[in-house]
Chains A and B, each alone.
Chain A
């Protein structure tokens, strides 16, 4: 009974604390819709790939923000190991979850784009390959969190795993690039025509606002989950 009466109180307190997120979310989704429509309406079809080029407005913002999220994991995990404050652990975990989803989405959207453009779903290009490695590294991070029951342990262990994983990103990229250049196959065209730049920037910013929104919401859920764990522990000890 004690749990049933305290939980809604914790929830409504959390909701008040995170009320600002509603605004971020509203602005983010509006900006996302507007910049997608703007991009689709204004950019001319590309010479080689035609309207397929529009995938760029999802693909690039998603991968950039995915990397920002992974960078947040690195920073928050390091800060956690020094401060040992729950907040930083939960923020790192939230950023890791959103980052993993975004990196996974990058791979999926990239494949969808690659099939009609390059003729294959997958190629062992350095960027593709190192993004895939980054994805599995952070799937490991999330698995570790899911399997570790002790709260304190989970925070310390996942901070260590998050830091080492993020440290590995440039090394993985470098190693895969050398591996490819030695077998030299192709370089990917990465020059963007000026007529696409504005839409690309607008979409990147819209996705950044959404990134903040998603991490914030996930963090809010994490705070509630932690509260539930604490109450369950209390009830078990009673």
Chain B
């Protein structure tokens, strides 16, 4: 088997392990989905009841809901192993350590996309958004925005999860970094939902792609230095 194939195998093994642990308990998934639902309702109460205003704000509401609820998953992705003393063992396995990081990114990506698969239709119902028409564009935007979010979330959680103040520190480190992702995702979601007379959609998608690429490479490179011990 080629070196790349072996690495892909390691990535898949780490991702599968994380997803299996989650699938068997569902503790995290249930609470994150519940929090997301609650957040959508709270935004509705805070900004409603004017249906037009809610609809106009819907793209921003959906993305903030994803960020606020999704951020809860990243620390947990390391904490289970740290508490069980399994992380050291994981590091001892042969092969590049970046496979651990990429595997965790894949698992977290699957997790957050699943949460979105519930949150977005729910938001469509609550705020009166069209869902079927713009589906391909919407799915693409959600995927690209979530990749950037999850890459940095998984990276910063590698540090934050090992600290006492982890619940505060992770959003403090992560959210300022996500400003370009938030802007690009919300704007392109709006353009998908409301139409794009000025042809700005491709610019925002290009920005998401650029962000994802730069920070994926940077995070994979920096991860080696972060988990050295």
A residues lining the B interface (CB < 8 Å): 81, 133, 136-137, 139-140, 143-144, 147-148, 150, 152-153, 156-157, 159-161, 163-165, 167-168, 171-172, 174-176, 178-179, 182
Contacts and interface: CB of A to CB of B under 8 A. Distances in A.
B100 to A, nearest CB: 16
Interface stretch (B32-40, B48-56, B210-218): B210-218
Nearest to A129: B179
Contact of A182 (B169, B187, B218, B228): B187
Given A133-B179, A171-B180, A147 B164 contact: yes
Contacts, number: 83
Contacts of A144: 159, 169, 173
Interface stretch (B69-77, B131-139, B198-206): B198-206
Given A156-B225, A182-B187, A147 B169 contact: yes
Contact of B179 (A139, A172, A182): A172
B182 to A, nearest CB: 9
Interface residues of B, number: 34
A172 B177 CA distance: 8
B176 A140 contact: yes
A160 B169 contact: no
B225 A171 contact: no
A136 B211 CA distance: 19
B207 A167 contact: no
Contacts of A140: 169, 172-173, 176
A147 to B, nearest CB: 5
A159 B176 contact: no
Majority secondary structure, A binding face: helix
Contact of B159 (A133, A157, A167): A157
Contacts of B177: 137, 164-165, 168
The 3 closest A-B pairs by CB, nearest first: A175-B180, A160-B222, A136-B176
B189 to A, nearest CB: 13
Given A136-B176, A147-B165, A176 B183 contact: yes
Given A152-B229, A156-B226, A171-B210, A161 B183 contact: no
B184 interface: yes
A143 B166 CA distance: 11
Nearest to A181: B200
Interface string B73-109: 0000000000000000000000000000000000000
Given A137-B176, A182-B187, A81 B225 contact: yes
B225 A159 contact: yes
Contacts of A167: 214-215, 218
B159 to A, nearest CB: 5
26 contacts: A133-B176, A137-B176, A140-B169, A143-B169, A143-B172, A144-B159, A144-B169, A147-B164, A153-B229, A157-B159, A159-B225, A160-B222, A160-B225, A161-B173, A164-B215, A164-B218, A164-B219, A164-B222, A165-B177, A171-B180, A171-B207, A171-B210, A175-B183, A175-B207, A178-B200, A182-B200
B163 interface: yes
A78 to B, nearest CB: 10
A54 to B, nearest CB: 32
Contacts of A160: 159, 222, 225-226
A140 B198 CA distance: 37
Contacts of A168: 177, 180, 215
Given A147-B163, A161-B173, A182-B200, A175 B225 contact: no
